[in-house]
Structure 1
Amino acid sequence: MLAACTSQEEAPPEKKSIEVLMVDNPQMLELKKLTAEHFTKRTGIRVDFTTVPENEVREQVHKDFSAQSGRYDVATISNFETRDYARRGWLRPLDSFITKDRGFDQSDILLPIQLSLSGADGKVYAEPFYGESSFLMYRKDVFDELGLKMPEKPTWGQVASLAEEADRPEEGMSGICLRGQPGWGEMTAPLTTVVNTFGGTWFDQHWKAKLTDPGFADAAQFYVDLVRDHGEKNATKSGYAGCLRNMKNGRSAMWYDATAGAGPLEADGSPVKGKIGYVPAPVEETKSSGWLYTWAWGLQKSSEQPRSAWEFISWASSKEYEKLVGREIGWENVPAGKRESTFDRPQYKKAASAFGDATEKAIREADPRTPGVQRRPTVGIQFVGVPEFTGLGDSVSRELSAAIKGEQSVAAALRKSQDEARKVGAQYRKQP
Structure 2
Amino acid sequence: METQIMKWALIVTSAGLIGSAMAGSALADTTITVATVNNPDMVTLQKMAGTFEKANPGVHVNFVTLPENELRQKITTDIASGGGQYDVITVSNYETPIWAKNDWLRPMSDLPAAYNVDDLEPTVRKGLSVDGTLYALPFYAESSMTYYRKDLFKKAGLDMPERPTWSQIEEYAAKLTDASNGTYGICLRGLPGWGQNMALFGTMVNGFGGRWFDQDWNAQLTTPAWKNAAETYKTLVTKYGPPGVTSNGFTESETMFSNGQCAMWVDSTVAASYVSDPKVSNVADSVGFAQAPYQKTTNGTNWLYAWALAVPKSAAHPDAAQNFVSWATSEAYIQQVADEKGWLGVPPGTRKSTYESADYQQVAPFSSFVQKAIETADTSNPTADPVPYTGIQFISIPQFQAIGTRVGQLLAGIASGQMSVDQGLEQAQQFTTRIMERSGYTK
Aligned residue number for residue 3 of structure 2: none
Aligned residue number for residue 208 of structure 2: 198
Aligned residue number for residue 155 of structure 1: 165
Aligned residue number for residue 307 of structure 1: 319
Aligned residue number for residue 76 of structure 1: 90
Moved more, 130-139 or 374-383: 374-383
Deviation, 1:304, is: 4.3
Deviation, 1:61, is: 0.9
Matched, 1:415 2:426: yes
The amino acid that maps onto 1:39 is F
Aligned residue number for residue 401 of structure 2: 390
Q: Distance in 2 between matches of 1:280 and 1:105?
A: 29
1:276-425 correspondence to structure 2 within 5 Å: 276-288=287-299, 289-353=301-365, 355-425=366-436
- Note the alpha carbon deviations across 1:274-300, whole angstroms, 9 max, x for none: 201000001123235111111101111
Q: Distance in 2 between matches of 1:205 and 1:86?
A: 25
Matched, 1:55 2:69: yes
- Among 214, 218, 223, which residue is 1:213 paired with? 223
Indicate if the aligned counterparts of 1:179 and 1:236 stay in contact, CA closer than 8 A.
yes
Deviation, 1:187, is: 0.8
Q: Distance in 1 between matches of 2:137 and 2:394?
A: 20
Aligned residue number for residue 45 of structure 2: 31
Indicate if the aligned counterparts of 1:97 and 1:310 stay in contact, CA closer than 8 A.
no
The amino acid that maps onto 1:84 is I
Deviation, 1:14, is: 4.7
Number of residue pairs the alignment of both structures matches: 416
Q: Distance in 1 between matches of 2:168 and 2:410?
A: 27
Q: Distance in 2 between matches of 1:88 and 1:365?
A: 29
The amino acid that maps onto 2:403 is L
Deviation, 1:108, is: 0.6
Q: Distance in 2 between matches of 1:398 and 1:76?
A: 25
Matched, 1:41 2:51: no
The amino acid that maps onto 1:41 is K
- Among 237, 257, 260, which residue is 1:247 paired with? 257
Sequence identity percentage? 39
Aligned residue number for residue 277 of structure 2: 267
Matched, 1:166 2:176: yes
Q: Distance in 2 between matches of 1:228 and 1:430?
A: 36
The amino acid that maps onto 2:291 is P
Aligned residue number for residue 85 of structure 1: 99
The amino acid that maps onto 2:401 is T
Indicate if the aligned counterparts of 1:180 and 1:401 stay in contact, CA closer than 8 A.
yes
Matched, 1:237 2:247: yes
Report SS of the residue matched to 2:63: strand
Q: Distance in 1 between matches of 2:236 and 2:165?
A: 14
Moved more, 414-423 or 399-408: 399-408
Deviation, 1:71, is: 2.3
Q: Distance in 1 between matches of 2:439 and 2:354?
A: 40
Deviation, 1:233, is: 2.1
Q: Distance in 1 between matches of 2:202 and 2:165?
A: 16
Indicate if the aligned counterparts of 1:207 and 1:429 stay in contact, CA closer than 8 A.
no
Structure 1 residue runs without a partner (length 5+): 1-10
Q: Distance in 2 between matches of 1:190 and 1:227?
A: 12
Q: Distance in 1 between matches of 2:293 and 2:176?
A: 17
Report SS of the residue matched to 2:133: coil
The amino acid that maps onto 2:426 is R
Deviation, 1:420, is: 0.9
Matched, 1:228 2:238: yes
Deviation, 1:214, is: 1.8
- Note the alpha carbon deviations across 1:43-77, whole angstroms, 9 max, x for none: 22322221112121111110111112222121100
- Note the alpha carbon deviations across 1:146-189, whole angstroms, 9 max, x for none: 11111122111111111111122232111111112212111111
Aligned residue number for residue 22 of structure 1: 36
The amino acid that maps onto 2:110 is F
Structure 2 residue runs without a partner (length 5+): 1-21
- Note the alpha carbon deviations across 1:193-229, whole angstroms, 9 max, x for none: 0001111112223321111122222212221122222
- Note the alpha carbon deviations across 1:217-267, whole angstroms, 9 max, x for none: 221222112222222222222211221122112211100000112222111
Q: Distance in 2 between matches of 1:192 and 1:260?
A: 18
Moved more, 314-323 or 157-166: 157-166
- Note the alpha carbon deviations across 1:339-372, whole angstroms, 9 max, x for none: 000011122222212x111111111111112111
Q: 1:380 to 1:430 in 2, by over 3 A?
A: closer
- Among 137, 153, 165, which residue is 2:147 paired with? 137
